[in-house]
């Protein structure tokens, strides 16, 4: 194992931006509303908030602590802290998951490129209606050349950024562009909640109906929390490994978690009130939800085309600051542990993720059996999302909590987190959550799901 000298973030703000850039992405604007819509609305939102606070925040602190303590990629980090035992496989699971998620993340990000071009080219300019937008969306994603080309362009962009290092370019860009994304999102929320008939959607989004909650819903909420916060596969271990000794992990993590949650909640507020004012659209629309609803909202804003183009461009940038963290994890592994050059690691892994993403790109109409997998009935992309985002991230989070709680040790983690400036009770909370609540809650939900799928 060779330990190469590693770069450091320039400042705490730089790190918070990079980590928030990783967290804020398609997970907030695309996956969150999609999952809320499918899982029955407000009750899910509450479960989600619970998961973020009780499971997401402690796991994020744990990941950052592991990263900074070892200054390694996930595989090397687990190996270093456990004396080289089986724990390194938890890191390996994360490395594989990074490629898995990146493969289809890039496909959806490609759709946002298409939408940006639609807006700029004026496709939505001529009397759009839900039907019209739906057809345009279907035409875009079911066209194999388009879907593959856009997927390829996004993957190439991700590779270029990771090749060049993250610090100067993306970090600086994120600083300017994230606030603009927030501003446009706020504008959308304002328009959406003032549409006639918005109250139906507001009720769906804000008034919980707990009869819709099941173990499957809790599992969705947990998976979404891990996905949105970039947890469960060592992305935060990797980002934490570039942190300097002095920075206070506790405050940084709070910033990242709050920013990520705020953007997700706003995205829901932009989408659901509008959704219910368009007859013929269902909240359970699936992965296409935002792509069908949002252009209709933009249509009702003066200068909507410009805002639409701006919005999808910014969403694209948000997706890029996330996808680079997905690629950075396996890249860091190959550099640290296998002695590869950054260049070779990026080219090989990026190509691999592109190829793995091809069935996801073709599984929206271009190829029938990929659109509805035989025997399962969901698209290839949906299946990948279930395997990697729902299961792999939660299993990774469970093992990570067990590792920090019972193997590496809460004391060591706490020393790394530097709670000095935080109230004492937080240390106690962290101990309780990481040792008991997190592993127990995740294990119970996984077990229950496995049992019920066996019984079914």
* Site for ligand TRP, rule CB under 6 A: 22-23, 25-28, 101, 227-228, 230, 233, 235, 322, 325-326, 393
Question: Is there a contact between 332 and 317 (Cβ–Cβ < 8 Å)?
Answer: no
Q: What is the DSSP letter of 420?
A: G
CB of 366 to ligand TRP, least distance (A): 24
CB of 27 to ligand TRP, least distance (A): 2
CB of 268 to ligand TRP, least distance (A): 14
Taking the least distance from each CB to ligand TRP, the nearer of 184 and 414 is: 184
| Residue in the structure block whose two tokens are 């729902």 | 390
Taking the least distance from each CB to ligand TRP, the nearer of 25 and 76 is: 25
CB of 235 to ligand TRP, least distance (A): 4
Taking the least distance from each CB to ligand TRP, the nearer of 28 and 106 is: 28
CB of 339 to ligand TRP, least distance (A): 24
Taking the least distance from each CB to ligand TRP, the nearer of 109 and 198 is: 109
Taking the least distance from each CB to ligand TRP, the nearer of 58 and 304 is: 58
CB of 252 to ligand TRP, least distance (A): 16
Say how far residue 173 (Cα) sits from the centre of its chain.
19
Taking the least distance from each CB to ligand TRP, the nearer of 229 and 361 is: 229
Instruction: Give the residue at shortest CB distance from ligand TRP.
Output: 27
Among 52, 76, 80, 47, smallest CA distance to 254 is for 52
CB of 185 to ligand TRP, least distance (A): 14
For 17, phi then psi, to 5°, come to -65, -45
Taking the least distance from each CB to ligand TRP, the nearer of 32 and 272 is: 32
Kindly write down the DSSP assignment for every residue of 257-282, as one continuous string: HHHHHHHHHHHHHHHHHHHTTSTT--
CA distances from 231 to 37, 60, 343, 349, 388 (A): 23, 7, 26, 20, 12
**Dist. CA 233–CA 254, nearest whole Å:** 19
Kindly write down the DSSP assignment for every residue of 144-181, as one continuous string: HHHHHHHHHHHHHHHHHHHHH-SIIIIIHHHHHHHHHH
Residues listed for the chain: 456
Taking the least distance from each CB to ligand TRP, the nearer of 27 and 41 is: 27
CB of 102 to ligand TRP, least distance (A): 8
**Dist. CA 397–CA 31, nearest whole Å:** 19
CB of 35 to ligand TRP, least distance (A): 12
Task: For the beta carbon of residue 145, count every other beta carbon within 10 angstroms.
Answer: 8
**Dist. CA 129–CA 281, nearest whole Å:** 11
Taking the least distance from each CB to ligand TRP, the nearer of 22 and 277 is: 22
| Residue in the structure block whose two tokens are 């609305």 | 41
**Dist. CA 160–CA 164, nearest whole Å:** 6
**Dist. CA 222–CA 97, nearest whole Å:** 17
Among 254, 261, 226, 216, smallest CA distance to 93 is for 226
Buried b (16+ CB within 10 A) or exposed e, 224-241: bbbbbbbbbbbbbbbbbb
Say how far residue 359 (Cα) sits from the centre of its chain.
20
CB of 4 to ligand TRP, least distance (A): 22
Taking the least distance from each CB to ligand TRP, the nearer of 95 and 233 is: 233
């Amino acid at each position: 194992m060779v330990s190469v000298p590693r770069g450091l973030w320039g400042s705490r703000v730089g790190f918070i931006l990079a980590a928030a850039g990783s967290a804020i992405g398609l997970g907030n604007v695309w996956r969150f509303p999609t999952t809320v819509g499918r899982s029955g609305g407000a009750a899910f939102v509450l479960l989600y908030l619970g998961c973020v606070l009780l499971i997401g925040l402690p796991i994020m602190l744990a990941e950052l602590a592991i990263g900074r303590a070892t200054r390694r990629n996930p595989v090397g980090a687990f190996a270093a802290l456990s004396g080289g035992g089986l724990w390194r496989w938890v890191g390996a699971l994360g490395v594989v998951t990074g490629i898995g998620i990146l493969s289809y993340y890039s496909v959806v990000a490609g759709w946002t490129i298409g939408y940006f071009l639609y807006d700029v080219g004026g496709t939505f300019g001529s009397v759009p209606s839900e039907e019209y937008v739906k057809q345009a969306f279907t035409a875009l994603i079911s066209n194999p050349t388009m879907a593959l080309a856009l997927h390829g362009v996004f993957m190439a962009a991700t590779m270029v950024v990771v090749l060049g290092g993250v610090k100067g370019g993306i970090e600086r860009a994120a600083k300017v562009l994230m606030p603009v994304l927030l501003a446009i999102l706020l504008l959308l929320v304002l328009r959406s909640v003032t549409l006639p008939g918005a109250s139906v959607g507001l009720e769906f989004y804000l008034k919980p109906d707990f009869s819709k909650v099941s173990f499957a819903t809790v599992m969705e909420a947990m998976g979404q929390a891990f996905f949105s916060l970039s947890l469960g596969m060592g992305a935060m271990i990797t980002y934490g490994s570039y942190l300097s000794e002095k920075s206070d992990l506790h405050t940084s993590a709070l910033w990242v978690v709050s920013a990520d949650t705020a953007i997700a909640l706003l995205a829901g507020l932009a989408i659901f009130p509008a959704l219910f004012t368009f007859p013929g659209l269902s909240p359970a629309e699936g992965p296409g939800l935002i792509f069908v609803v949002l252009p209709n909202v933009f249509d009702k804003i003066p200068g909507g085309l410009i805002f639409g183009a701006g919005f999808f461009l910014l969403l694209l940038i948000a997706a890029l600051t996330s996808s680079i963290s997905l690629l950075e994890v396996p890249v860091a592994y190959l550099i640290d542990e296998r002695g590869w050059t950054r260049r070779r690691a990026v080219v090989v892994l990026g190509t691999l993720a592109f190829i793995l993403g091809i069935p996801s790109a073709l599984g929206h109409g271009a190829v029938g059996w990929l659109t509805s997998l035989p025997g399962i009935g969901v698209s290839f992309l949906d299946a990948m999302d279930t395997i990697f985002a729902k299961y792999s991230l939660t299993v990774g989070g469970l093992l990570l909590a067990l590792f920090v709680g019972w193997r590496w040790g809460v004391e060591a983690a706490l020393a790394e987190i530097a709670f000095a400036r935080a109230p004492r009770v937080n240390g106690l909370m962290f101990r309780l959550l990481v040792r008991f609540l997190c592993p127990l809650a995740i294990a119970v939900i996984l077990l229950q799901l496995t049992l019920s799928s066996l019984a079914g």
